[in-house]
Every structure is written in structure tokens, then in C-alpha cells.
Structure 1
Amino acid sequence: MKLQFLKCFAFTAVFLGLQQTSQSFAQENKSIPDQKWWKEAVVYQIYPRSFKDSNGDGIGDLKGIISKLDYIKSLGIDAVWLNPIYASPNDDNGYDISNYREIMPDFGTMEDFNVLLKEMHKRNIKLIMDLVVNHSSDEHEWFKQSRSSRDNPYRNYYHWWPAENGKPPYRWSFFDVNSDAWKYDAQTNSYYLHYFSQKQPDLNWENPKVRQEVYDIMRFWLDKGIDGFRMDAFQFASKDTTWPELPKGFEKNIIKYYGVGPHLHEYLQEMNREVFSKYDIMTVAEGAGSSPDDALLFVDPDRKELNMAYHFESVDIGKHVKDFGLVKYKEIFSRYDEKFKDKGWLSIFIANHDQPRMVSKFGNDTPEFREISSKMLSTFVMTMRGTPYYYNGDELGMINIRFDSINDYHDVDTRNKYFGLKSRGGDVKAFLEEQKQTARENGRTPFQWDDSLNGGFTTAIPWLKVNPNYTLINAAAQEKDPNSVLNYFRKLIQVRKANPILIYGKYTLLDKENPDVFAYTRELEGKKVLVLLNFSEKNTKANINLNIKKAKVLIANYGNVTKDGSLRPYEAVLYEL
């Protein structure tokens, strides 16, 4: 017990010191323009349903998160992005909200939330809430009223199409590639729009009353003291309500036809003026447009909209990095960085609750390479220019569970696509095989705390199966190993905080056409850092034309380095030149 206390005390001392270093840097370096806390933060995403169950019902909850705040603090992170915890019938795991001012009973109470926020702030951890306002649940009181009659005051809170006008122009639904996003509702002989599940009707942002309702919801949470919002699917909020026919194959470029509607930026500027500008917060919209030019419009400070862009291009380009090639991958990150080099700010991420596990998609999750490739990927996320977002469990190198049966899946996306395909006589066996690599629930399996039953997540039957490898991959085992994936992650954050060049430094891509190595430099105030990352399982070499013989090694995932540019499988090295 004494040893455990001393270890915890040591971690706390280190991270308090690092935090002071970061804060003093922000205060002293006047030569760096427009410094912000949210640029210097490391954001840790928590999927509450799968993080820690405190009451033995098989579902993670707020008290479970509270019980693990010291662990979260020990990572060295600065902010937590919490997936939705609002009241919800849970058709889409909380992204269908029935009351924006209440907590889902599965997760606890508002009192639990207040304790969580207080305890996080006590540890200098900021809280970013997930706000879902492109759509609500069909069980929200607004929608119940809206569907009750055509002359109800809430009718125009959603998008309706009278059936006597014929069938509305086809719109594709995200959760079933062959379903129509217009759902017929017999009560008023009309169709309502749902870009996602039919239990997620789209709110009508063209109605100023809807916008004011949302701003009031935002103020409710901000006045409680939260530190910002991640705005889910907000790129779809504004729609062309003339409902033009869309060209064949439009779903291949869905953001172009569905996203960034005619008034979206106007609404964001109004939102900023009425809400965001009144608070010192972090704001980021999911999927900011379909190109770097689009994304910059959201976060150009002169436009007064949001302060951070969060795009999908780097995660939506294939099932595995081998499928699309590292050269293409480098090109995407470099193209976005070029657009944002003078203004605006990016988020950097390669995993979240809508993606398979990081190491299964971008690394190598075989026993031989799982740990080393996981460390390499973490190095990448922590050394690129932008605010890093890191998904819970990736600090352990958790991997895809790869379910064999549709009965193991709860996700509305996977299930709707499966049964839709089955009804059309499609190849459901091939679909399930593909889902082993791509399904969202690969990233949603419960957190693996230790080698006890269910990985220490719950004493009951978990809502989603725990990956059976929890006896080998778990936090408790990695705490004891100084060379573990977990402790490497902690060291990485220390390096990032101690080297502001990794936050604000200029990014330059090197060895552009190398199919195996991602190499780049970061430069700030006459100093330069070199990052070498081998994304392959073979020995290779980076062609960098830099003398690194006398360079200082800041961190290396193998521990030792050769200093000649050669790299072992999935090797990552960070040099101070």
C-alpha cells in the first residue's frame, strides 16, 4: 500500500510540475501569437457506457468515472470529452436525446454529474460535453408535440412533408444505405426527416425558436461550469429546404450534398455571438466540411464561429492503413496543416467511439507488433500540430473484438445494415467479416482495468462483451511494467508538455514518397525536432538528409536507437536537432 501511495504521489508531482511548465510557457512566450489553453490541452475521450460500472448493472456510469479520476489524472491529460449522458431511450447509444437537461438513469443523476464536474476541476481536468442538436429523439417532448397535429406550435421544430404533395425527394439515411430518410407518420399523414435513425428526427434549424432553445440548453450546461462542447453531426444542421433532387451517386460525397447547408455559418456566428463569446470554452464541430478550405471557414478567428476543426478525411479512407497507403495518408495530414499554418486550429485524432480500435486500423494488433505499433501511433498523435484527441483504452493498446454473430452487436448502424442486407438477399456473411475490422463497437467494448472477471469493468453481465484478451491487456498489469504501452503514453504526454515546439511549432513533411515512413520536423524559435515513424512491419530507412548523430533523443518506443535513419518495425523516434 505504501509503495502504491508513493508511486501515485510521484506521478502527481511529475504532472503538476509539467502542468506548471506548460502554464508558465503560455505566460512567458509572448512571441507566439494567440496562445489558448485548448491548443495546449491533451483531450481524453471517455465512452461512459463502457468505462467503469459502479453499481453492478453491467453499464458504465458517472460514479464509475469518478472512481477512476485519479487514474485519468495520472495520464497527464488536460480535458475529458464525455460522450452523451443526457436522458435518452438509447436507440443510438445516447445520441438520441429525449431531455437535454436530465441525466440518463443508466448513468446516474444530476447530483452525480455535479460531483463529477467538481472532482474533475479539483484535479485541473476540464470537461467537454458532447452536444447533439442536429436531431433529437422521437421521444423528446418537442417531437411528441410536433407530430400530434399540423397546427401544433412545435410543428415547425422538425422537417415535415405533407403526404398529399406526393413522396418527398429521396434522402439517404446514414444507418441503412438503402433506406429513405423521410419516414411516413400516419398521425398527420406526413413524412418527417431523419438523416440518421428513424428515432432521430432532424431538428429544423431554419426555425429561430429552435435555435434559441438550443442556446438556452448550452447556457444551462456552461453555467454549471463545463469547459466546452463537441458538437455532434452539426455540419448537417442547416439544410436546403427547397429539397432539390440529388444526382445519382451523391452518397459517395455525402458531406457535399448534406453538409454545410446554406445558413450553417450564419447560425454558428449567431451561436458564437449569443453564447460562446460569453465563456472561455473550447468548441469543435464534428466533420467540419469536406475539404481544408471548408474546415478553415469554421475556425478562422476573424469569422467568430468555432475554435477547432475536427474532420474525418484521415479516418474515413479505408479499412486499414495498408489499404490506402501511407503516402496518401501523409498527403491528407499535410494538406490540412498547410491550410491551417497561419490561422485556425486543428484537432488530431485517429480513433474515437465511431471507429475501430486505433492499433487494429492503423497499426498491427498481432501479439508480435501490438505494443510497439500502439506506441508508434501514440507518438504520431502527440507530435503533430493540433490538439490531440485520444480515445479511452488506446493507452493500453486495446484491439478489435471481432464479433462472429450479429447477436453480439447492439449498434443501430451495424444491425440496420445487416438486416437490410439480409432482406435484400445480400451476403451477410461477408458483411459480418467486414464488420470485424470496421464496426464501431470494436471501439466500444468495456475498458479493461484488470484480469478479474469482465476485466474489472463490472461484476454483472456487461452491456457489451468484454474482449477476452483482458487477462493479458489491462491497466493493472501495465501499471507494474515501466515499458508498457500505458507508461509510454504517460511519458509521451510529459515530452509534449515539456516541449512547446510540439504544440506550436511549424510542421514540415520529409521523405514524402516513402511508402513506409512518416517523417516530419517541428520548428519553433530557432529550435527543431525530428519525428520518425515506421508504419510498416519491416526494417526500413528514412531519407531525411539530416545529421542526427549528435541529436538528443527525446523519446523512442524501442528505448534505444541507431541514429542513422534506419528504423525497425513500427519504430518511433523523436529527436531534438
Structure 2
Amino acid sequence: MVHQRADSRLEWWKCCSIYQIYPRSFQDSDGDGVGDLNGLLSRVDYLAWLGVGAVWLSPVYRSPMRDFGYDISDYTDVDPLFGTLTDFDRLVAALHERDIKLILDVVPNHTSDQHPWFVESRSSRDDPKRNWYVWADPDADGGPPNNWLSRFGGSAWEWDARTEQYYYHAFLQEQPDLNWRNPAVRFAFADVLRFWLRRGVDGFRVDASAVLAEDPLLRDEPPNPDFDSKTPPPERFKRVFTDARPETMSYIEEMRAIIEEFPDRALLGEVQGGIDRIGQFYDAERPRFHLPLNFLLLDTDWDATSLAAGIDQYINAIPDDAWPVWILGSHDKPRIATRIGIEQARIAAMLLFTLPGTPIFYAGDEIGMPNSVISSEEARDQFEALVPGYGLNRDPERAPMRWDGNEKAGFTSGEPWLPLGDHVKERNVAAQLSDDRSVLSLYRQLMALRQTEPTLHSGQFQPLRSQSQVLLFERCSDDRRLLIALNTTTGSHTVALHDRGMLRLSTHLDRLDEPVASQLHLRPNEGVVMEMLTSSL
């Protein structure tokens, strides 16, 4: 049966699947071992073939690369490592020609310490840009102003001998925090957003959005009651005075207002504080993010009971008219195929594309890429270097994309900036293109099904009680009912049904238009989408 395409009345960010690209690791065009814009441009046809509707591109701004682009020294230029502004414009045009949107990562919380704003700010206490950053006098004992800790380890305050004050940095000491209480900072950042919007960017993903404001009284953080020997040292205190402060919401509202100056754009945000806080980042009366990013699928224990509970908690935590969003992979989180295994990664993919809301996945998830094995000694990530021994190294999930099974995986003609990892021969695009039951084929079929099946992108969500660790739910519209059944175990299970139905897709990709009567038999690690027929047995 052929169904109409996604409802054209829905905004694009509700209809499409979003694909995150970490540019260093996607495709290298000049042999230096680091991905770049021209490399990405050469793969645009692949993105169109795959069926993604939008690309979320991690930072490509000028940067000293202490945090691989999240330490920005110029918000309105491209780092030569990635190319030029002309290359960026060519990329935007090529994506738009294929009806693919571009969402650009933006970092408002901090700059590089090499940004001209900070160079001026630290030059003198009297400099006009002094108050563009967060400066404070020493405590009475001459030490840092309070007990705030950097998320990358150690004090969040760095002494500046020239001006005899400390500056605040929530992350690396080379990433001083901007002072968002200063209207001049907010005006300057609004101009940054407009610069890229005028170049055709379709939206932004706002990095570390919940930490834009700090307590103006600089009060000490309270102890973390859950802190123990297994907890990373930066989490010794609860982040009450440096995370999700009320003022932050007004700053996000100002960013949203800039977005609204341009038609058909979207604002996504990285938020902190757990599921119970995520609803405040929507707020329809005072618009904030279109999509506050939700990492529940990456943080929940992988069994039907835990998943059902987590999904229910999230759905109930966001406003009734809010649009959900789900993330299955990220440059900051271990890859799903490593976390739960390649067979269950297929289950995760079906879950991602059948839940209500917008699905986001990370380049390489569609071929079941695993984490690369990178020791602490080999780590490039400063997080691991500064807080070793707690599994915080993000290099493993940032390993280069595998385009073929050759020595350099089709990523580069030089030496890849990170090791490629294991299973390159079978988990690469070329190998899976020729396999109609591959993970890549599954992703493509799931995205096509979601795009062409109105019930999946805009139908109601109806949870069902799990049976034998089979996660069950329905997506319903006026004339259609789809049952999604996901076996989260390595054993076979049978699910009792009240209605007959027709199997439309299996994660094994070998069952199509198969009638089902009173019982649904699921093989190990199998998930299915089934159209339920209206007549009852």
C-alpha cells in the first residue's frame, strides 16, 4: 500500500530525520587526515540517498582546537582546517538543492581565550570589554572566589596575573565564559546568529545552553549527596548555582526571537538537569527551543521495562503541545552499537524512528559503527587528559566514518586523526550498500517508512504493557493503527494480540506483508512494525 508523504503542513523539523555530522571525522578531501567541508560536499548525494532531511553540523568556526572547535576564536569565519566561507556557502547550496536543511552548532556560553573579545577583556580592568566575561576578585584567603568546579576538572576559576582577578570557565581554562548578563554580549551574539541565517543556515543547535547564567552572588555549590569513589571529581558538588538558572531562560527566549526574524528556521538546544527539567526549555507562552535535545535512549538501561518507564517519564515531562525529540547517537556519548551490541542496535533504530517526535542519529550509526578502542595514553580529548580513569574519553565515538573496507576506510588518503577501530571490513558503507539486509538498509527503510507514513510522524502515541521484555506501543491516527513490538532479548518470544494485522517491516528485513492472527512470534533481537486491521478476532 502506498501512503502520502509527510504532512506538508507540519514544520520541516517535525517531519525530517536529523543526521549529526562531526566534521573532523566525516570525510577528508585534502589528505591531512581530518575531515573538511569539501569532503562533506562530496558525500551530499549519499545523504540524499539515505533519506536524511537535515544535517546538524558540529562547529567549523576558527578555533585553536583545544576542544576541537568548541573553543571559538572567530564566530563568523570558517577555520582553514575545514575550508573557507565559500566552501560553506557551496555546501549549503548543495544541501538545499537536495531538499536537506542545515543546522549549525553554535556555542554561546564561552569563547576561546584567543578570541579578540577575551584578548581585549583581559588586557585591563578598564577595557570596554572587561565585563563581557565573568571576572571576580580572589576570596579572602587569596584563592578562587568560590568552590565552583570546571566540568573538565579542577577549579572553574583561572587567575590572571596581569589584572589580578579570576575569570570563570565552566569547561577548559582556555574557554572563558561570556557574561550573558551584559546586554552588549547578547547584542553581539544576536549579530552572530543573523550572520549565519543570512547565509542560508536553517537553524542552530545551541551548545551547553543551560549554563549561560551563573549566580550573581557567587554562592558556593552544596555537596553532591551521591558523590562516591566512582563519581568523577568534577561532580563533587551539586550544580545549583551554575546550571539552569532562571535568567538562562530569558537568554534562550532572546535567541528564539532572532530565529523568528527569518522564516522557516529552528532552534535546538543541548540542555542539562535531567528529564524532570526538560519541559521548561519549551514554554509555548514564551517560546524557547523548538527541540530541547533528549538523550534518554542513550542513558537508559536497555530492557523493555526501563525503556517503557523512561519514555513515559519523558512524554509526561514535556508540555502537552510540545514536540518530542529523540537522540540515538552523539559525538559526546558512547555509540549505541558498542553499548548494546549490533543486533540490539537494530532494535534501537526501529524505536528511534517509530516514537513520536523528531529522530536524531549520528553519522556512522546507520552502519552499526562501534566505538574505536583508544587508551588514555593515546587520547586526544582533553576531558580524558584532565579527568583520567572515569571513562570520559570522547575520542572512541569520534573515530572517522568508514566508507569502504580499505586501509583508510575511504575517509582519507593520509593518516586518520583518530584510529578507525574494529569491524571496518563489514561495517562500512560500501559493504552494506550491496546487502539488502544490512543495518544501512534498515535505516534507509525506516526513514522512508516514517517519511511516507503519516501515522508515524504525526499520529498519537499509545503505550502498551510490555510482554516478556518485548516493548510494545501503538501509533494511531483516524484510520490507521500501527503496532510496534521490540524484542529487547536474545530469546524468542510470543506476544498475544487482540486484533489481526499485517507485518510491514522487521528489523531482520525478511518479513514483508505477512499476515498475523492472534499471536505475534518474535525471533531473538527482532522488532516489527505491524499494521493492525480494524476487524477484531
Using the size of structure 1 for normalisation, the TM-score is 0.85
Equivalent of 1:492 in 440, 443, 446: 446
Render the CA deviation track for 1:488-523: whole Å, top value 9, x for unaligned: 1111111111111111122122225x5732211111
Alpha-carbon distance between aligned partners in 2 of 1:255 and 1:186, rounded to the nearest angstrom: 28
Equivalent of 1:569 in 505, 520, 524: 524
Identify the residue that residue 98 of structure 2 maps to in structure 1.
123
Residues 1:26 and 2:40 aligned together: no
Alpha-carbon distance between aligned partners in 2 of 1:347 and 1:476, rounded to the nearest angstrom: 30
Could you tell me which amino acid in structure 2 is paired with residue 96 of structure 1? D
Q: 1:230 to 1:526 in 2, by over 3 A?
A: same
Q: Give 1:152-551 correspondences, 5 Å limit.
A: 152-163=127-138, 165=140, 166=142, 167-176=144-153, 179-249=154-224, 251=235, 256-287=240-271, 289-292=273-276, 294-316=277-299, 321=301, 326-340=304-318, 342-361=320-339, 363-364=340-341, 370=342, 372-403=343-374, 405-418=375-388, 431=389, 435=391, 439-512=393-466, 516-542=469-495, 546-548=497-499, 550-551=500-501
- In the TM superposition, residue 406 of structure 1 has moved relative to its aligned partner by 2.0
Could you tell me which amino acid in structure 2 is paired with residue 262 of structure 1? P
Q: 1:248 to 1:255 in 2, by over 3 A?
A: closer
Identify the residue that residue 425 of structure 1 maps to in structure 2.
none
SS of 2:530's equivalent in the other structure is strand
Q: 1:491 to 1:134 in 2, by over 3 A?
A: same
Equivalent of 2:13 in 25, 35, 38: 38
- In the TM superposition, residue 127 of structure 1 has moved relative to its aligned partner by 0.2
- In the TM superposition, residue 378 of structure 1 has moved relative to its aligned partner by 0.9
Residues 1:557 and 2:507 aligned together: yes
- In the TM superposition, residue 463 of structure 1 has moved relative to its aligned partner by 0.7
Alpha-carbon distance between aligned partners in 1 of 2:295 and 2:442, rounded to the nearest angstrom: 27
Could you tell me which amino acid in structure 2 is paired with residue 375 of structure 1? R
Alpha-carbon distance between aligned partners in 2 of 1:268 and 1:162, rounded to the nearest angstrom: 29
Question: RMSD of the TM alignment (CA)?
Answer: 2.1
Q: 1:541 to 1:254 in 2, by over 3 A?
A: farther
SS of 1:536's equivalent in the other structure is coil
Alpha-carbon distance between aligned partners in 2 of 1:394 and 1:253, rounded to the nearest angstrom: 34
The answer to which of 150-159 and 266-275 deviates more is 266-275
Q: 1:173 to 1:77 in 2, by over 3 A?
A: same
Could you tell me which amino acid in structure 2 is paired with residue 546 of structure 1? L
- Retained in 1: the 8 A contact 2:472–2:483? yes
Identify the residue that residue 422 of structure 1 maps to in structure 2.
none
- Retained in 2: the 8 A contact 1:287–1:312? no
- In the TM superposition, residue 253 of structure 1 has moved relative to its aligned partner by 8.0
- In the TM superposition, residue 186 of structure 1 has moved relative to its aligned partner by 1.1
Could you tell me which amino acid in structure 1 is paired with residue 459 of structure 2? G
- In the TM superposition, residue 471 of structure 1 has moved relative to its aligned partner by 1.9
Render the CA deviation track for 1:227-259: whole Å, top value 9, x for unaligned: 000000011102211111221117378565432
Identify the residue that residue 423 of structure 1 maps to in structure 2.
none
SS of 2:387's equivalent in the other structure is helix
Render the CA deviation track for 1:445-473: whole Å, top value 9, x for unaligned: 00000012211111111111111421221
- Retained in 1: the 8 A contact 2:278–2:318? no
Render the CA deviation track for 1:321-363: whole Å, top value 9, x for unaligned: 35xx5423321221211344731112111211001111112x2
- In the TM superposition, residue 44 of structure 1 has moved relative to its aligned partner by 0.6
Alpha-carbon distance between aligned partners in 1 of 2:265 and 2:486, rounded to the nearest angstrom: 33
Render the CA deviation track for 1:80-138: whole Å, top value 9, x for unaligned: 00000000000111111000011111101111101101111111110000000111111
- In the TM superposition, residue 289 of structure 1 has moved relative to its aligned partner by 4.5
Alpha-carbon distance between aligned partners in 1 of 2:494 and 2:148, rounded to the nearest angstrom: 49
Identify the residue that residue 14 of structure 1 maps to in structure 2.
none
* Number of equivalenced pairs: 515
- In the TM superposition, residue 268 of structure 1 has moved relative to its aligned partner by 2.1
Alpha-carbon distance between aligned partners in 2 of 1:541 and 1:472, rounded to the nearest angstrom: 31
Alpha-carbon distance between aligned partners in 1 of 2:345 and 2:531, rounded to the nearest angstrom: 22
Query: Unmatched 5+ residue regions in structure 1?
Result: 1-16, 28-34, 365-369, 419-430
Q: 1:256 to 1:26 in 2, by over 3 A?
A: farther
Render the CA deviation track for 1:522-552: whole Å, top value 9, x for unaligned: 112242111111122222344xx5335x312
Alpha-carbon distance between aligned partners in 2 of 1:556 and 1:315, rounded to the nearest angstrom: 22
Alpha-carbon distance between aligned partners in 1 of 2:352 and 2:241, rounded to the nearest angstrom: 31
- In the TM superposition, residue 304 of structure 1 has moved relative to its aligned partner by 1.8
In percent, how many aligned pairs have the same letter? 35
- Retained in 2: the 8 A contact 1:382–1:493? yes
- Retained in 1: the 8 A contact 2:296–2:326? no
Alpha-carbon distance between aligned partners in 1 of 2:319 and 2:178, rounded to the nearest angstrom: 35
Residues 1:47 and 2:43 aligned together: no
- In the TM superposition, residue 291 of structure 1 has moved relative to its aligned partner by 3.4
Alpha-carbon distance between aligned partners in 1 of 2:48 and 2:430, rounded to the nearest angstrom: 16
SS of 1:54's equivalent in the other structure is coil
The answer to which of 207-216 and 249-258 deviates more is 249-258
Render the CA deviation track for 1:252-311: whole Å, top value 9, x for unaligned: 78565432213112222233334434332111110264334x322222332222211213
Query: Unmatched 5+ residue regions in structure 2?
Result: 226-234, 533-537
Alpha-carbon distance between aligned partners in 1 of 2:426 and 2:438, rounded to the nearest angstrom: 12
Could you tell me which amino acid in structure 2 is paired with residue 266 of structure 1? S
Alpha-carbon distance between aligned partners in 1 of 2:105 and 2:260, rounded to the nearest angstrom: 15
Alpha-carbon distance between aligned partners in 2 of 1:225 and 1:399, rounded to the nearest angstrom: 34
- Retained in 2: the 8 A contact 1:80–1:128? yes
- In the TM superposition, residue 415 of structure 1 has moved relative to its aligned partner by 1.5
Could you tell me which amino acid in structure 1 is paired with residue 29 of structure 2? S
Residues 1:79 and 2:54 aligned together: yes
- In the TM superposition, residue 481 of structure 1 has moved relative to its aligned partner by 1.0
SS of 1:229's equivalent in the other structure is strand
Q: 1:397 to 1:351 in 2, by over 3 A?
A: same
Q: 1:332 to 1:277 in 2, by over 3 A?
A: farther
SS of 1:532's equivalent in the other structure is strand
Alpha-carbon distance between aligned partners in 1 of 2:257 and 2:522, rounded to the nearest angstrom: 50
Alpha-carbon distance between aligned partners in 1 of 2:458 and 2:240, rounded to the nearest angstrom: 31
Render the CA deviation track for 1:173-214: whole Å, top value 9, x for unaligned: 1112xx111111212111111111111111110000000010
Alpha-carbon distance between aligned partners in 1 of 2:114 and 2:124, rounded to the nearest angstrom: 16
Q: 1:341 to 1:168 in 2, by over 3 A?
A: closer
Alpha-carbon distance between aligned partners in 2 of 1:235 and 1:452, rounded to the nearest angstrom: 42
Q: 1:170 to 1:215 in 2, by over 3 A?
A: same
Alpha-carbon distance between aligned partners in 2 of 1:104 and 1:555, rounded to the nearest angstrom: 44
